[in-house]
Structure 1
Amino acid sequence: MSEITTSSTASDINVVDGILDRALDVNDISTADALILIAQTHPDIIDRIRVTADRLRQIQVGDIVTYVINRNINFTNICEQHCSFCAFRRDEGTEGAFWLNTEQILAKAADAVALSATEICMQGGLHPGAKINGRSLDYYVELVTAIKTTFPQLHLHAFSPQEVEFIARQDGLSYADVIIALQQAGVGSMPGTAAEVLDDNIRRIICPEKIDSATWIKIVTTAHRLGMPTTSTMLAGHIETPSQQIAHLDRLKQIQQQAIALKSPARITEFIILPFVGQSAPAPLRSRVGRDQPVLADNLLLTAVARIFLGNYIPNHQPSWVKLGLAGAQTALTWGCNDLGGTLMEEHITTMAGAEGGTAQTVADLQGAILEIDRNYQQRTTLYELI
């Protein structure tokens, strides 16, 4: 690597260079190595990390930047839980509460198909009243069946591990029972949301009613075993420490290593950092964090370290243009990301928290952002097959 002619100590430079050189030789780096990288503050050293992440992205997935034409449908914001970062949830019967019926959901899906969407991403609040004949699973299955019967060409990327646990708990079923039923109805993959940070000390503060880390991992690994791919996420930039961030990445790597060892075709398809947006979030966490919008520089360094640490196992990395804005997400494409996400067409959860990135992007918006950094674009499916 080139010489740094700044005030950084030679020992710092040598340690970082050793880690980056090992990574460029396609070797795994340790959690201790990742902690050293995430702790760097000198601009020249951080740029070396960026260059390494970008080079690994090129080695692992090439120069094409992918995107998906999809629609996001949040079918209800009525929720039994009270996460400290969430401005989306409402109690039933209160102002702003909504619960879309099947006709409304099908109308949104029809609009998406008219715009050439290949995917519906569907998640919602944990609504105890969402049942048919007293069963939660019947409600979710009927919803999926209605969409797939009407639009069989759509891939349904739907229902997080938290929603799977909710259905299982409501109906006294196993996680496998729920996943199999949803899969048979037409769900093609599971969003890896509700992960937040896979550290129970953090979860007890920011989402005490949510499933714990072990349960999230169990549901994701069960999905893989049953042939359902998942994504993976991390809610970053609030009260978690760098050590907890790296431990989260390590847990994701272990999940993927397990799927690979089992020769499962269903694995984690992508990793997405979801930076904390606090502008309209509940006051206690917002006050503790002390800012409303993500810090782009922090997100970019974490993005690069995630590529270096995870890229040998989870090759597709995506920034959140909803949270970072399209320009911020575009920048992340030079810090290790290779995918710009979806058009979404609508988004409520992050927007209601005060995100400034918007709720939709056109295909032309995404393509233009990619071309501006001298990379070529390619439409993909949910499972990263090129179209």
Structure 2
Amino acid sequence: MPTAELIARLADLNGQLPDPGAALAICSGDQPAAALQRAADALRRQLAGDTVTYVINRNLNFTNHCVKHCGFCAFRRDAGAEGAFWHGFELLQEKARAAQAWGATELCLQGGLNPLARERGSALRYYETLLAALLEAAPGIHLHAFSPQELLFIAEQDDCPLDAVIQRLRGAGLGSVPGTAAEVLSPQVRRQLCPEKLSARAWCAVVLEVHRHGLASTATLMAGHIEAAADRVAHWLTLVGLQQRAWQAGVAGFSEFVLLPFIGAAAPEPLRRRVGRDQPDHAAMLALTAQARLLLGHWFVNHQPSWVKLGLDGATEALRWGCNDIGGTLMEEHITTMAGATGGTSRTPQELSTAATSLGRPVRQRTTLYGSIAAEALPA
């Protein structure tokens, strides 16, 4: 079936989920890349316009101590092992102050699952104190923090209902939640890739609870490893279903979708052999970028590539394949870099702006949740 006809079958005119058969056909690999690119770029223009957005943020990976052993992860360490770290509040506050002085409007916090991260015996109290310390150092900054896996870990550590964990963290300053730890929402893939990680069902349950509390989250897919097209389609349709439930409840739901290409340079040798590459296949990732735009449709206005994984040139090209956002400055990054990514760990606002203008597209700085930045808040 021609690409245009399949895309027409994906069109959602009555608030229903995309047609699964058409979705699988779009993602089968049989569709011409040029047709996917044109269709995705046109839908991007229709939903998000031509303006490319970016956020000035700082990434804070506060610890890599972790009790899990995901098969692809080069970030986690046991306490005391070479390369292990756990930053204290004073250092994190120093980084937060510096970020805000540089014009950052967001801190993105993610770390390993550290069972020693407790305050007076409570994991939840530790994370509350961490958020409060960062807001003390950088008043008013947006805290985009703690993946669904981390939120569930906190609840399990304190034997506390997830509802209470989210409510208390929101009260301590949590502004939104990264949609990482999703990897691929396929039980079969997860059993091979990350059997110790929370299940696909659990990830969805945590996200539903996050959205129910009025917090937005991002959505991700880690692709380009052992997953099949059907796994990606099921993942994307699951995200649409979650977004549909959020909108029906009158809450924001997902703020953006981010495709995360698999980096295998530091992965275990058996997985590296199965995948057959250490760095992303750019052509394949651009096709997936277009497929994501087409399948997620109007349910996801904002799409972002990963310049850390693709390099800035690759991320700039992704702006022609359905993306409308170029991401954040990050200032530092450890998880992907320790996996062997070569895209760098920091970009200036000027570099991100130049990426957009090189395509003849206008550009603007945004907030974490895609709001506008007041003129007085823009960096000089």
Q: Which runs of 5+ in 1 are unaligned?
A: 1-11
Shift of the alpha carbon at 1:20? 2.8
Task: State the alpha-carbon separation in 2 of the partners of residues 205 and 251 from structure 1.
Answer: 20
Residues 212-361 of structure 1: matches in 2 within 5 Å? 212-264=199-251, 266-361=252-347
Mapped contact 1:19–1:29 kept (Cα < 8 A): no
- Greater mean deviation of Cα atoms: 246-255 or 108-117: 108-117
Task: State the alpha-carbon separation in 2 of the partners of residues 273 and 191 from structure 1.
Answer: 13
Task: State the alpha-carbon separation in 1 of the partners of residues 295 and 226 from structure 2.
Answer: 22
Give secondary structure in 2 for the equivalent of 1:311.
helix
Identity %: 51
Task: State the alpha-carbon separation in 2 of the partners of residues 346 and 53 from structure 1.
Answer: 31
Give the TM-score normalised by structure 1: 0.93
Task: State the alpha-carbon separation in 2 of the partners of residues 287 and 161 from structure 1.
Answer: 30
Mapped contact 1:162–1:216 kept (Cα < 8 A): yes
Task: State the alpha-carbon separation in 2 of the partners of residues 25 and 224 from structure 1.
Answer: 23
Shift of the alpha carbon at 1:21? 4.0
Q: What is the CA deviation profile of residues 147-187 of structure 1, one whole-angstrom value per residue up to 9, with x for unaligned ones? A: 11232220000000000010000100111111111100001
Task: State the alpha-carbon separation in 1 of the partners of residues 279 and 119 from structure 2.
Answer: 40
2:378 paired residue number? none
Shift of the alpha carbon at 1:56? 0.5
Mapped contact 2:149–2:203 kept (Cα < 8 A): yes
**Aligned partner letter, 2:44:** R
**Aligned partner letter, 1:348:** H
Residues 157-176 of structure 1: matches in 2 within 5 Å? 157-176=144-163
**Aligned partner letter, 2:332:** E
Q: Does 1:17 align with 2:38?
A: no
**Aligned partner letter, 1:248:** H
Mapped contact 2:149–2:198 kept (Cα < 8 A): yes
| 2:27 paired residue among 29, 34, 38 | 38
Mapped contact 2:9–2:19 kept (Cα < 8 A): no
1:70 paired residue number? 57
Q: Does 1:97 align with 2:101?
A: no
Q: Which runs of 5+ in 2 are unaligned?
A: 374-380
Shift of the alpha carbon at 1:23? 5.3
- Greater mean deviation of Cα atoms: 302-311 or 180-189: 302-311
| 1:81 paired residue among 68, 73, 80 | 68
Task: State the alpha-carbon separation in 1 of the partners of residues 11 and 165 from structure 2.
Answer: 42
Relative distance call for 1:60 and 1:23 in structure 2 (3 A) is farther
| 1:145 paired residue among 128, 132, 135 | 132
Mapped contact 2:144–2:178 kept (Cα < 8 A): yes
Give the TM-score normalised by structure 2: 0.95
Mapped contact 2:309–2:343 kept (Cα < 8 A): yes
Shift of the alpha carbon at 1:311? 2.5
RMSD over aligned Cα, in angstroms?
Answer: 1.3
Mapped contact 1:259–1:267 kept (Cα < 8 A): yes
Q: What is the CA deviation profile of residues 300-351 of structure 1, one whole-angstrom value per residue up to 9, with x for unaligned ones? A: 1111111111131011000000000000000100000000000000000000
Relative distance call for 1:140 and 1:22 in structure 2 (3 A) is same
| 2:34 paired residue among 47, 57, 66 | 47
Mapped contact 1:67–1:342 kept (Cα < 8 A): yes
Task: State the alpha-carbon separation in 2 of the partners of residues 64 and 319 from structure 1.
Answer: 15
Shift of the alpha carbon at 1:249? 0.2
**Aligned partner letter, 1:361:** R
Shift of the alpha carbon at 1:368? 0.5
**Aligned partner letter, 2:19:** S
Q: What is the CA deviation profile of residues 107-129 of structure 1, one whole-angstrom value per residue up to 9, with x for unaligned ones? A: 11111111100000000000111
Mapped contact 1:20–1:49 kept (Cα < 8 A): no
**Aligned partner letter, 1:36:** A
Shift of the alpha carbon at 1:374? 0.8
Shift of the alpha carbon at 1:26? 6.5
2:377 paired residue number? none
Task: State the alpha-carbon separation in 2 of the partners of residues 158 and 205 from structure 1.
Answer: 27
Q: What is the CA deviation profile of residues 273-311 of structure 1, one whole-angstrom value per residue up to 9, with x for unaligned ones? A: 101000012222122211100111111111111111113
Task: State the alpha-carbon separation in 2 of the partners of residues 309 and 26 from structure 1.
Answer: 14
Q: What is the CA deviation profile of residues 235-284 of structure 1, one whole-angstrom value per residue up to 9, with x for unaligned ones? A: 100000000000000000000000111112x3100000101000012222
Task: State the alpha-carbon separation in 1 of the partners of residues 131 and 164 from structure 2.
Answer: 16
1:9 paired residue number? none
Matched pairs, number: 371
Shift of the alpha carbon at 1:40? 3.1
**Aligned partner letter, 1:64:** T
Shift of the alpha carbon at 1:100? 0.1
1:372 paired residue number? 358
Mapped contact 2:9–2:22 kept (Cα < 8 A): no
Mapped contact 1:24–1:56 kept (Cα < 8 A): no
